[in-house]
Amino acid sequence: MLEKIISHQSNLQACTRCPNMIQPVITGLPVASQIMLIGQAPGIREGNIGRPFGWTAGKTLFKWFSSIGVDEEKFREQVYIAAVCRCFPGKNPKGSGDRVPDKQAGALLDVQRAIRIVRYRAREWHLNPGKVGVIGFSAGGSLAARLSTNDHLNTYKNIDKADEESYKPDFVLLIYSAYLDNGPGRSLSPELIVNENTPPMFLFGTADDPYSNSLIVMADALHDIKVPFELHILSEGGHGYGLRPGIKAAEAWPKLAKGWLELDGN
């Protein structure tokens, strides 16, 4: 298994498929683990440091891990962290960092394919194929919602046997999710079709978040269909707080989510 991971990482580091990609491809240690950490588009710092989650987002994440007794270096030695690279549409002409790609269809394709691969290779990776969940923050919450509420929206032609697996997650966490209320009168977005096949959801936000109505309309839809869910709306916290210390909302949602996951057996 370890040899396959090393070979896989070597292939990723040699990849040149995207003409806009800025080298290097950044990988964690080659670890055969039951958990895989995915995410965080890297900036310049991660490339210089040479490992994913090496700067602001990583510092925030591992500071929170430390608060619950998880050491960063031990985590990196024991958990596989997915490779990342910089591939973006260019600098913001206003000088406020990188422009955000506007590719909703491509994002949905990526996450559908990712879920299927995880399920297909679950035994090889020592995972439970019936407990594959997703968590989405802000616009990522919109992506997670679209993934979870469309039963027959296959976004690409099947590539291999992995695509015979379901792309629907078994549980979903939406944290300060946005863009779920694009329907008439700020109702649920029409592309979000909640039904009895929609997975259980954990919803968390704050009343002073301008996007908080997204969680409320989603909760209403889940309630109407009797899909299990848990909704928490705190009085303040704003938007985009992640795991930042000193913000009550940021400190509250991980504990509440942990309790929900344990109660639901996820």
Q: pLDDT tens digits, residue range 150-194?
A: 888 888 888 899 999 999 999 999 999 999 999 999 999 999 999
We report the CATH number of the domain holding residue 162 as: 3.40.50.1820
Does residue 176 sit in the same domain as residue 208?
yes
We report the CATH number of the domain holding residue 8 as: 3.40.470.10
What tokens appear for 248 in the block? 């009550």
Q: 95 lies in a domain?
A: no
Provide CB contacts within 8 A for 23, sequence distance 6+.
47, 85
Does residue 165 sit in the same domain as residue 40?
no
Q: How many domains does the chain have?
A: 2
Q: 51 lies in a domain?
A: yes
Going edge to edge, which strands form the sheet with 229-234? 133-137, 171-175, 201-206, 229-234
With 60 as the cut, is the pLDDT of residue 226 above it? yes
pLDDT confidence band for 39 (50 / 70 / 90): low
Does residue 171 sit in the same domain as residue 258?
yes
CA atoms of 80 and 88, how far apart (whole Å): 24
Total count of residues recorded for the chain: 266
Does residue 173 sit in the same domain as residue 250?
yes
Does residue 82 sit in the same domain as residue 157?
no
Strands 171-175 vs 133-137: parallel, antiparallel or unpaired: parallel
pLDDT tens-place string over residues 96-130: 555 555 667 778 888 899 899 989 988 888 889 99
What is the biggest distance separating any 2 CA atoms in the chain, rounded to whole angstroms?
A: 55
What tokens appear for 122 in the block? 């679950």
CA atoms of 103 and 98, how far apart (whole Å): 15
Query: Which of 44, 65, 90 delimits the end of a domain?
Result: 90
In DSSP terms, which residues pair with 171 in a beta bridge?
Answer: 133
Does residue 221 sit in the same domain as residue 129?
yes
pLDDT of residue 83: 78
Does residue 224 sit in the same domain as residue 120?
yes
Domain span at residue 192 reads 100-266
Could you tell me the CA-to-CA distances from 131 to 39, 47, 110, 118, 260 in Å, in that order? 19, 33, 19, 10, 14
What tokens appear for 66 in the block? 């430390």
- Burial class of 181 by CB neighbour count within 10 A (0 to 12, 13 to 18, 19+): buried
Mean pLDDT of the chain: 87
Does residue 116 sit in the same domain as residue 29?
no
Does residue 79 sit in the same domain as residue 191?
no
Query: Which of 68, 90, 112 delimits the end of a domain?
Result: 90
With 60 as the cut, is the pLDDT of residue 206 above it? yes
CA atoms of 146 and 153, how far apart (whole Å): 9
Could you tell me the CA-to-CA distances from 89 to 93, 142, 210, 236 in Å, in that order? 11, 21, 27, 34
Tracing tokens 């891990």 back to the chain, one arrives at: 65
